[in-house]
Amino acid sequence: MADTAVADGAATTEKVAESAPTVVVDDVHLVYRVHGAGAGKGSATSALSRIVARKKATGITEVHAVKGVSFVAYRGEAIGLIGRNGSGKSTLLRCVAGLLPPTRGKIYTDGQPSLLGVNAAMMNELTGERNIILGCLAMGMSQEEAQTRYTEIAEFSGLEKMSPGILSRPMRTYSSGQGARLRFSIAAAKTHDVLMIDEALATGDREFQLRSEARIRELRAQAGSVFLVSHSMKSIRDTCDRVIWLHDGTILADGPTDEVVAAYEKGR
Amino acid sequence: MANSATTDALPRSSPPGDGESLAELAARHGLTVSGARPGLGAYVKQLWQRRHFIVAFANAKTRASYSDARLGQVWQILTPLLNAAIYYLIFGLMLKTNRGVPNFIAFLVTGIFVFGFTQSAVLAGTRSISGQLNLIRALHFPRASLPISFTIVQLQQLLISMIVLCGIVLAKGEPLTLKWLLVVPVLMLQFVFNIGLSMIVARFGAVVTDINQLMPFILRTWLYTSGVFYSIDNFTKDAPAWVRHALDLNPIAVYIELVRDSLIESHSGVPTWTWGVAAAWALVIGVGGFIYFWRAEERYGRG
């Protein structure tokens, strides 16, 4: 494993053999500041009396989502992030991707890590066709690239085969499964240096699930490192060779998949 | 739940050896800080590479905004028409006031539409970051794309309003002259000004969410001081000089005056230095707003 290579990496000759790190997370903290939460904010009078009494900002609640996490990911590793709901997995992923700046600590990366997913850029009022182009552009493709990828994406989604003409209808008319198919097809059209996958992406019927799993394997093969957040221990076992167990914003365990997953399943 | 007894037995990956800090390890392998703010030049370049996304996002927003109305895009024309009709009803038919301004309806509607461009750009700009956190927390792109995109949406609406405006001005008996072409550079300057301004309020709005509530009041004050409903010249005849200068230098008043000067013959004769003021505001707010926005680039996701 990469760790052993690093341990004796002091001699210059051996540095060549040392596996290169792709992501270095150095003591990262993340604090969300939530406005409008907490007690006493309910009515206008209580809010006013608080201002008059100069009580300090009870309306702001701080949520310490990630508390001092450090780890190093090496080229070729597929790392699973597991833990209960609210343990900071998705937040940590967003920090590594550079989308959410850490409150304290630093994250160093080789290339630009990106989350797999374009849901946020898509608009339900627009047709499937327009959403494909918009999604591609949002992921950073050029106009020409988006045009050339269009057919590929439409074909992969298999929507036209199911119901012809569907791509020229607004996405709000799609069933949830059809929408999920299209979103995955767009998201998976781009390759990434550091690929980050948050939760179950492969949705849809059995046939589409198989196809999307195959596509994720392809993407993984092309990526330098892969991070996967999932509650499905099966997909963690299938995909990852290393697992980080987060609990309440800190790392509880970090090691080979079998050991950590076994402990996790026993522990909860 | 895990208890501490099992925790001790769990594997932990050994930190990289030799007492080397993580920062040193990262530096040795040439890793860069994730999500760091790019230099100003690099940022402009990134923004240019995203130009198709910016335009596509603006078009999508425009399309989506009327999609649940049965008449759809027709509302883009109907909205300014109805606006003009209301002002005609109140000022033209009911109050019969012109406040010493010839062709008052053309004068008024020009003011309303030109002011509306900046007004809606500022309102949209305020929410352009705080309302798009999902997008910001999911994808990489220079965040300035958002306020620019939302300003383009308003520009598209303005262009349609201008067609309506030209119709009204013609109907009120103003001659069609080559001078009308001057509207194009004026609106371009105002567009640059609006982009800068919406970037400034976008950065404010990203941190101080209360500004959403405050903005309508600020804008209404601005509306009443911009000479939309009255002629600043008539109004300030007896006012102290500094009041007159302050009102004359008001950027929106400057853009409104220049559009009126181009379209309405009886309202021509705006001094040439007004063009200088219009360009200066566009330059200062456009460039200044952009730099101000860029300086917080890496922090926008935090919300």
At B129 the pLDDT is: 92
Whether the ipTM is more than 0.90: the answer is: no
The token pair that represents B87 in the structure block: 């002002």
Global pTM? 0.83
Q: Kind and range of the H or E element at A149?
A: helix A143-157
pLDDT tier, B124 (very low <50, low <70, confident <90, very high otherwise)? very high
Each residue of B46-70: pLDDT tens digit?
999 999 999 999 999 988 887 777 7
In a domain, A90, yes or no: yes
pLDDT tier, A42 (very low <50, low <70, confident <90, very high otherwise)? low
At B7 the pLDDT is: 46
Q: What is the pLDDT averaged over residues A14-19?
A: 48
At B33 the pLDDT is: 83
Nearest CB partner across the interface for B57, out of A3, A97, A134: A134
In whole angstroms, give the CA distance from residue A72 to residue A83.
19
The token pair that represents A194 in the structure block: 């550091």
Each residue of A185-206: pLDDT tens digit?
888 888 877 888 876 655 667 8
Residues of A with CB below 8 A from B212's CB? none
In a domain, A75, yes or no: yes
pLDDT tier, B30 (very low <50, low <70, confident <90, very high otherwise)? confident
Which B residues, 236 through 295, put their C-beta within 8 Å of a C-beta on chain A? none
At B99 the pLDDT is: 66
Contact A118 B138 (CB under 8 A): yes
Place of tokens 């997995």: A89
At B6 the pLDDT is: 44
- pLDDT at residue A1 above 70? no
In a domain, A159, yes or no: no
Query: Looking at A13-17, A215-219, B52-56, B92-96, which range is the least confident one?
Result: A13-17
3-state helix vs strand vs coil in chain B, percent to 5: 75, 0, 25
Residues of B with CB below 8 A from A146's CB? 52
In a domain, A256, yes or no: yes
Each residue of B134-174: pLDDT tens digit?
888 888 899 999 999 999 999 999 999 899 888 888 888 88
Contact B26 A108 (CB under 8 A): yes
- pLDDT at residue B18 above 60? no
SS (H, E, C) B227-292: CCCCCHHHHCCCCCHHHHHHHHHCHHHHHHHHHHHHHCHHHCCCCCHHHHHHHHHHHHHHHHHHHH
Give the amino acid at A193. D
Number of neighbouring beta carbons within 10 Å of residue A181: 23
Which of A125, A148, A243, A259 should be substituted to probe chain B, the one whose Cβ sees the most B Cβ atoms within 10 Å?
A125
In a domain, A128, yes or no: no
At A239 the pLDDT is: 80
The strand pair at A21-35 and A60-74 is best described as antiparallel
CATH, residue A50: 3.40.50.300
Each residue of B293-302: pLDDT tens digit?
999 998 887 7
Query: Looking at A83-97, A167-181, B44-58, B90-104, which range is the least confident one?
Result: B90-104
Which of A25, A32, A63, A72 should be substituted to probe chain B, the one whose Cβ sees the most B Cβ atoms within 10 Å?
A72
In a domain, A165, yes or no: no
The average confidence (pLDDT) of chain B is 85
Contact B32 A254 (CB under 8 A): no
Residues of B with CB below 8 A from A118's CB? 138-139
At B90 the pLDDT is: 82
Q: What's the first-to-final CA gap in chain A, in angstroms?
A: 28
Range of the domain at A90: 2-112+192-267
In a domain, A56, yes or no: yes
In a domain, A178, yes or no: no
Counted across chains A and B, CB pairs separated by less than 8 A come out at 190
Domain boundaries, chain B: 39-228+235-299
In whole angstroms, give the CA distance from residue A83 to residue A248.
8
Give the amino acid at B279. A
Closest residue in A to B2 (Cα) is A267
